[in-house]
Amino acid sequence: MAWTKYQLFLAGLMLVTGSINTLSAKWADNFVAPGCGGSKEHSFQHPFLQAVGMFLGEFSCLAAFYLLRCRAARHPEGSMDPQQPFNPLLFLPPALCDMTGTSIMYVALNMTSASSFQMLRGAVIIFTGLFSVAFLGRRLALSQWLGILATIAGLVVVGLADLLSKHDDQHKLSEVITGDLLIIMAQIIVSIQMVLEEKFVYRHNVHPLRAVGTEGLFGFVILSLLLVPMYYIPAGSFSGNPRGTLEDTLDAFCQVGRQPLIALALLGNISSIAFFNFAGISVTKELSATTRMVLDSLRTIVIWALSLALGWEAFHPLQILGFLILLMGTALYNGLHRPLLARLSRGRPPAEEGEHERLLGGSRTPINDAS
């Protein structure tokens, strides 16, 4: 079945905004500008402030939700599921996981390449599968266990590629290894977030945009308040600011004032996360969850290609092998092999019943797919 122009637009929007989200964060890290008090020029390494910006972007999804609800109210013939009353505090535990995982990933992005960052996030499959068995009582199919094993193999290959790649002064080998390990550690927290969302949130029929916005609100408020003590907590080698603290928000604003392009990168990060979440939810509704997974894999290729073209990282052939193995693991875990086998055996495309998602209905995909 041919895609409509609207479906093509949604697919393109998801691919572009998802790529911009990671690339803009990495672009900001590459800027060098003086800070406050006449400090020397240094890289813009403010991961916790960038995480605050990301949560601000997620918070804006609430506005999109209420716009959709107002539109549905004006057009009664439109599809709108009634929203059940729920306690917003249900979103606090997953929001805390989201806040912690996202902050760790932004710290890791300062230490490793954008392509490795994107590929290693595939480790979420491993921990999500194991936690769903342990805490949700789910039984994984053989193909899902094979997908987990393939993902582990892919992570080893990508990590080996990072070890063998040439490293400059900005990314020393020890920093790259630490960054890669932090990304994998963050996926454990993201997996806990997904399990919490499925166990306590999905049963309330909360629209995904409303869920993303509510988690964004909690994350934005809590992390903004935490920026105050972070200004005084020493961080040693993990610090990227002249004062050597966890976060120096004043230094970040001084750098933005002296290099306005940093503000453009931050704005790209904030706006892209909102559009990416909306596009991802809409792609699942208009096309399928499988299409959303394929587009997310294409996003890794775009980020990788642009990072190479911009000279942000060096090419290593092992990354190709690692990416292909990770892609195979993701496909096996998400059941992408089933429609392909059905096409080969039956000679016709399989039905995608159950894969579509109502725009104002429930979701079985992770609420926040872009931390």
| Cα–Cα distance measured from residue 357 to residue 285, given in angstroms and rounded to the nearest whole number | 4
**Identity (one letter) of the amino acid at 218?**
F
Whether pLDDT at 216 is above 60: yes
Cα–chain center distance at 229: 26
Whether pLDDT at 237 is above 80: no
Taking residues 214-237, report their average pLDDT: 93
Average per-residue pLDDT for the chain: 84
Say what the pLDDT of residue 348 is: 52
pLDDT interval class at 78 (50, 70, 90): low
Taking residues 315-341, report their average pLDDT: 85
Say what the pLDDT of residue 358 is: 37
Q: What distances in angstroms separate CA 245 from CA 46, 185, 321, one per listed residue?
A: 10, 22, 39
Whether pLDDT at 334 is above 90: no
Q: What distances in angstroms separate CA 189 from CA 100, 101, 105, 131, one per listed residue?
A: 7, 6, 11, 11
Q: What distances in angstroms separate CA 343 from CA 49, 141, 238, one per listed residue?
A: 48, 20, 51
Whether pLDDT at 55 is above 90: yes
pLDDT interval class at 65 (50, 70, 90): confident
Whether pLDDT at 277 is above 70: yes
Domain boundary assignment for the chain = 5-37+45-72+86-342
Residue indicated by tokens 């672009």: 27
| Cα–Cα distance measured from residue 233 to residue 23, given in angstroms and rounded to the nearest whole number | 29
Residue indicated by tokens 């086998």: 341
pLDDT interval class at 70 (50, 70, 90): confident
Range of lowest pLDDT (47-61, 97-111, 167-181, 247-261): 167-181
| Cα–Cα distance measured from residue 218 to residue 221, given in angstroms and rounded to the nearest whole number | 5
Whether pLDDT at 132 is above 90: no
Question: Exposed, middle or buried: residue 257 (CB in 10 Å: 0-12, 13-18, 19+)?
Answer: middle
| Cα–Cα distance measured from residue 272 to residue 370, given in angstroms and rounded to the nearest whole number | 10
